[in-house]
């Protein structure tokens, strides 16, 4: 059975592709064959990143491919243990397709209401289309390090009716430098930053496994 994660967002620049690359690296490092389906054919953020990774000789090697439609991307699922669907921002029809196909739908968000509100609006829209709230999860990204702000953001999302994944990714130039070099945010030069990102990755994996086990049961 293939694990399918959908990375979606209401707007760009919130960390969707960064989290897709992180999860691909963690899956492969854990022994799972994995592919990222880059569905943003204009930006191709993951595709270009994979090129930098290959040129730099970073291991493990990760498979990324650009797809024009969710349907063609899903045709690859049987060939892999995990498929990560990295969608376009603000693409309502495509986003709904991703959410329907995925075992877990991840919406990255920052701590401010300017980030939180659009994410909740997107989650509500997916629920109206029949996507279960149980498989929608928010990931805290570009956090400031303020425990008060982090707690307030998590409370906002919880009160809206959604799960917030454990861990968070803070603002750090080291994460950007890693990406520029074709590395995931669990592959920086700083152990503390890697561990912080790894906690979020593990939370995604645990939630996805839990959801699939429920379906089987």
Domains of the chain: 3-216 (3.40.50.300)
Q: Which two tokens stand for residue 43?
A: 């930006």
**Do residues 96 and 126 lie in contact, with contact meaning Cβ atoms separated by under 8 Å?**
yes
Average pLDDT over residues 174-187: 97
Phi, psi of 178 (to 5 degrees): -65, -45
Sheet with 63-66, strands from edge to edge, namely 63-66, 34-38, 82-86, 3-7, 104-109, 136-143, 163-170
Euclidean distance between CA atoms 86 and 39, whole angstroms = 6
Euclidean distance between CA atoms 123 and 156, whole angstroms = 13
Query: What pTM, to 2 d.p., does this model score?
Result: 0.95
pLDDT, tens digit (0-9, with 9 covering 90-100), for 62-99: 999 999 999 999 999 999 999 999 999 887 899 999 99
Phi, psi of 56 (to 5 degrees): -85, -10
Q: Which two tokens stand for residue 180?
A: 């520029």
Average pLDDT over residues 106-129: 96
pLDDT for residue 134 is more than 80: yes
């Amino acid at each position: 059975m293939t694990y399918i994660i959908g990375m979606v967002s209401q707007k760009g620049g919130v960390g969707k592709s960064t989290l897709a690359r992180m999860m691909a690296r963690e899956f492969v490092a854990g022994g799972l064959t994995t592919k990222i389906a880059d569905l943003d054919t204009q930006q191709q953020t993951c595709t270009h990143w994979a090129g930098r990774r290959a040129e730099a000789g970073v291991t493990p090697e990760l498979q990324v491919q650009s797809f024009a439609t969710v349907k063609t991307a899903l045709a690859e699922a049987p060939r892999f243990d995990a498929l990560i669907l990295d969608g376009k921002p603000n693409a309502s029809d495509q986003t709904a397709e991703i959410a329907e196909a995925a075992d877990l739908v991840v919406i990255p968000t920052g701590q401010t209401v300017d980030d939180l509100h659009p994410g909740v609006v997107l989650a509500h829209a997916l629920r109206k289309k029949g996507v279960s709230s149980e498989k929608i999860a928010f990931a805290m990204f570009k956090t400031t390090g303020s425990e008060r702000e982090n707690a307030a953001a998590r409370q906002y999302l919880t009160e809206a009716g959604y799960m917030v994944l454990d861990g968070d990714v803070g603002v750090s130039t080291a994460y950007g430098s890693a990406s520029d070099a074709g590395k995931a945010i669990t592959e920086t030069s700083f152990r503390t930053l890697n561990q912080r990102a790894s906690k979020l990755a593990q939370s995604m994996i645990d939630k996805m496994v839990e959801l699939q086990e429920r379906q089987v049961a």
